Amino acid sequence: MRPNASRVRVGAWLAAAVALAGCAAEGSDELDLGATEAAVDVAAFQLPSLDAAARAAIVHRYDALDPGDEIPRGLLEDAIVYYDVNRAQLPKPEAFVVVDLSRYSGRDRFWLVDTATGLLEAHKVAHGDGSDPDNDGYATLFGNVDGSHMSSLGFYLTGEIYDGTHPHSMRLDGLSVDGSPNDLANSNVRTRLIVVHEADYVSDSNTGQQGRSNGCLALDPAIEVGVVDRIHDGTLIYAAIAPLAPPVGRAACGDGVCDGAEDATSCAADCAPVDPGAPDGGVPDPGAATGELAGGCAAGGSGSGAGLAIAFALVGLRRRRR
């Protein structure tokens, strides 16, 4: 018996759709179809290549971020430098996200950083089952290939919110091309339908192994709406397992540079008060701390006071002689 032609066409369409399927709940392959184009020019973003001194000059301006040192320092500095260099391209510079995919899935490893206050939100996040073939909670494989179900490392820009397999999902655009350092490569995430979505196999209260996605950054449903509503359409995300450069650390008092959170009170060695009216352009007056001025005269007009005292003494001596 010859099969119905319409059924054949439907079957072929479904097969093609399955091949294009993006993230879904673990054990389910419901479809997220209809990827759109990025709303920004992803080619305008650049991966900074700076020496330690240039990195430090940037990083120390953001010393107020992560006051509790929760984020691995090297990853935080990578994100800070990329954020600062590309800030003019970011539609939403009010925050950025750091994801440490080297960590066990039962630990907090998704941090939302408020760039105004420096404070964090820490959450659990799932990785792809293709990145964790042993299903032991550790992602060890990463890729940028459709159908791999692998998580992708690199810098991302958040995109639009849409309802797909999971309600209130958020598209992503990859900013790291193949061949980037540290195996960063995520330029295909939009076409792969790798997104941020809620999933009932992720729970912030669970310190054990989380479930796995098909490569997406899946969050606890209890917090996903609040996070996505805050960062959609233009926030930087950085997902990595190792830093791009050795950390430079926070600004340190005594390094000869007044930067970071240092000021004349907290670090006089680096931020000594200056005399703006000095002829040498504001170099601190060596006598300022002791009240001594050049030439041995007392500061603050006390020299004229001493002269008056001598004058009065002479007047008194003359009166006694009369």
Residue 118 is classified by DSSP as: -
Contact 242, 250 (CB under 8 A): no
- pLDDT tens track for 222-246: 999 999 999 999 999 999 999 999 9
Pick left, alpha or beta for residue 149 (phi over 0 → left; psi -120 to 50 → alpha; otherwise beta). left
CA 294, CA 66: separation in Å to the nearest integer?
A: 46
Higher pLDDT, 100 or 310: 100
Q: What is the pTM of this model?
A: 0.77
At 67-79, the pLDDT tens digits run 999 999 999 999 9
Strands 120-123 and 236-240: unpaired
- In the predicted model, is pLDDT for residue 166 greater than 50? yes
Q: Is the pLDDT of residue 142 over 90?
A: yes
Distance CA 126, CA 198 (A): 10
Place of tokens 């700076």: 50
pLDDT digits (tens, 9 = 90+) for 255-271: 888 877 778 888 988 88
> Per the structure block, which two tokens stand in for 79?
């994100």
Q: Is the distance from CB of 188 to CB of 210 less than 8 angstroms? A: no
Paired tokens of 241: 């397992």
CA atoms within 13 A on the CB side of 271: 13
pLDDT band at 302 (very low <50, low <70, confident <90, very high): very low
Higher pLDDT, 32 or 131: 131
What is the CATH code of the structural domain delimited by 13-45+86-240?
2.40.440.10
For 314, counting Cβ atoms within 10 Å of its Cβ (0-12 exposed, 13-18 middle, 19+ buried), the class is exposed
Tell me the range of 14-18, 116-120, 286-290 where mean pLDDT is highest: 116-120
Q: Which amino acid is at 150?
A: M
Residues 78-92 have a mean pLDDT of 98
The residues, any chain, with a CB within 8 Å of residue 129's CB and separated by 6 or more, are: 26, 135, 149, 212, 213, 214
Using alpha carbons, list the distances in angstroms from residue 298 to 39, 213, 294.
68, 75, 9
Specify the length of the chain in residues: 322
The pLDDT tens digits of the residues spanning 1-26 come to 444 444 434 334 333 343 344 565 44
**Which residues contact residue 3 at a Cβ distance below 8 angstroms, ignoring those fewer than 6 apart?**
none
